[in-house]
Structure 1
Amino acid sequence: MSNGETRVPEHQHSHDHSEHGHSHAPTVSAGNERAVLIGLCLTGSFMVAEVIGGYLSGSLALIADAGHMLTDTVALFLAWLGFRLGRRPADIRRSFGYSRLEVLAGLINALSLFALVGWIAYEAVQRFLAPEEVLAGPMFVVAVLGLIVNLVVFRILSGADADHVNIKGALLHVLGDLLGSVGAIAAAVIIWLTGWMPIDPILSLLVSLLILRSAWALLTRTFNILMEGAPDGIDIKELQSDLRSAVPGLADVGHLHVWSLSSGQTMATLDIALAPGADPAVVSREVKARLAQQHDIGHATVEINWSGDGVDCPAATAQHQ
């Protein structure tokens, strides 16, 4: 289909798609891909050092943070892979290209965060039941280095397009790591000053709660895209009402479906009924312009209902409320 293509019937419901062709695959930002790759290298390299430091110091906070850095590494790799494959052009089997890979990667990121929280909670309970000695000195040094690395990665990713699901997911992972590093530093200081070992699992659980909140937000966003739900901020009934009132010559709007292909790619299909004497080409052009300029819907497929019936689609409309 062509971008914002208007379907003109040969008879009553056949459509002409020969106007012009195009690829639905988005332009993948080289800056996003580069930022994710740099973050991947930094995070993956330090993860090994943190695993060693957590093992030698006996700190659950460090081990938990190392586990989170492992999921960071996986998340960043999936994000990089999504951007890499997303540059592939659309083909005859995948006319929308490969951009939805970034949404799948975002879903995996969210699920990995839930798994991490479960593991930390289990380990924390074990530490409460059988406290283990923690070496505050090595723990402090490794935690400070981890904080520095995470700050650098967070700064790099913040300079990329944070609206992308993958960039957002990676930022949430790194933010969780930042909090984990701060918690590990605080635990090391408290252990060094007081010798109170339970602070290590306690701070690990507090960080886990923050990670859980971020994971839920990411999961709901990616799930909504995969379920082709209406994007945030779009109300189907309000959108129909806006088109009816703003577009001259438009009598009615029906069969309106709005969904996201991936981050920043909102699409719509709809039927329109024309007022008597209205020019079909002009009305359809104005509908597409209104959708793009006022509602950020860049790709709209408009079908003109010539019969004058069947415009309303309550069941379809209700799916997007």
Structure 2
Amino acid sequence: MHTESLQPWRKDHTFGLDRMRGGERRTWLVVAITLLTMVVEIAAGLAFGSMALLADGLHMGSHAVALGIAGLAYLFMRRRAGDARFSFGTGKMNALGGFTGAVLLAGFAAVMAWESVSRLLAPVPIRFEPAIAVAVVGLMVNALCFVVLGGHSHAHGHEHRHDHNLRSATLHVLADALASLLAILALLAGRYLGAAWLDPVMGIVGSLLVARWSVGLLRQSGAVLLDCEGPAELRQDVRTSIESIADSRISDLHVWSIGPELYAAEISVVTHHPHSAEVYRRRLAHRPELVHVTVEVQHCPG
């Protein structure tokens, strides 16, 4: 048999990852906006003596780096989609980008907490009015970036649940927005209630919330990188669909993520009356997210 005759049975392992995703364009746009705002907030924080504002500016810069990593992950995933060295395509670069972003997010939370505790122990004078004005601008910029990334659908959006890279970028922007909001509240309390100590305390509160987000993203993206089993609903549907064929039982089933909304499956079927692997694959045609299905059919006599 000639190699050319096998072409109809060869699989394309790009799985559409060679096309630019919407999250990639949005991520690079947010990187540009974040870098510009970073310069303004850091300068204002140093000039006005606000730790909350300075922390917000520093996080803007560090998040710009994290967002840049997310953008590069999209670029690598798209440019190398057809590289034969990647057994199931480059889809896991999405999870790797999300995992890296989550690690950086945890680091930012630690730095934020350290600086806030330092300022709580050794307070510095704060010029409240200009600091509040710049913090409000920072919050507006973060809100804009959140919308650009599609953050309005963050909690329930289908895209954010599966695109860990985009989720990482959105959480970084959300962390910046939280820092800006807490800075405003702390500065207002310091200005009108004389509670200047709230400035570093709000920084500590914000760091705890950011740390919680990072842990959630680490778990989700880490599960993909470690080839943990796919969604229970999908695995149950695979089992039900295959075992609906008379005398067919699944003895071994593995379903795992190989990219955003992309899954591979390995299925071992035991039956008295074997069919071709294609018969079993056709039973899963209603699940387009199963892009790579391998079926092993074993005959059980008697």
Report the TM range for the smaller structure's normalisation.
Answer: 0.7 to 0.9
1:259 paired with 2:256, answer yes
Distance 2:248 2:22 in 1: 45
TM-score normalised to structure 2 length: 0.86
Distance 1:123 1:279 in 2: 66
Deviation, structure 1 residue 170: 0.9
* Counterparts in 2 of 1:281 and 1:218: CA distance versus 1, 3 Å: closer
Aligned partner of residue 264 in structure 2, secondary structure: strand
Q: Which of 39, 44, 47 lines up with 1:48 in the alignment?
A: 39
1:167 paired with 2:163, answer no
In structure 1, the residue matched to 2:16 is 26
Distance 1:21 1:90 in 2: 11
Distance 1:75 1:209 in 2: 19
1:248 paired with 2:245, answer yes
Unaligned runs of 5+ in 2: 1-5, 154-158
In structure 2, the residue matched to 1:301 is 294
Q: What residue identity is the alignment partner of 1:67?
A: L
Deviation, structure 1 residue 57: 1.6
Q: Is the 8 A contact 2:247 2:271 kept in 1?
A: yes
In structure 2, the residue matched to 1:189 is 188
Q: Is the 8 A contact 1:25 1:86 kept in 2?
A: no
In structure 1, the residue matched to 2:93 is 101
In structure 1, the residue matched to 2:276 is 280
Distance 1:103 1:282 in 2: 31
In structure 2, the residue matched to 1:289 is 285
Deviation, structure 1 residue 45: 1.4
Distance 2:107 2:87 in 1: 34
CA RMSD of aligned residues (A): 2.4
TM-score normalised to structure 1 length: 0.81
In structure 1, the residue matched to 2:156 is none
Aligned partner of residue 259 in structure 1, secondary structure: strand
Unaligned runs of 5+ in 1: 1-15, 310-321
In structure 1, the residue matched to 2:149 is 157
* Counterparts in 2 of 1:250 and 1:86: CA distance versus 1, 3 Å: farther
Q: Which of 127, 131, 142 lines up with 1:135 in the alignment?
A: 127
Query: Moved runs in structure 1, 4+ residues, more than 6 A?
Result: none
Aligned partner of residue 83 in structure 1, secondary structure: helix
Count of residues in Structure 1 that have an aligned counterpart in Structure 2? 287
Distance 2:7 2:249 in 1: 24
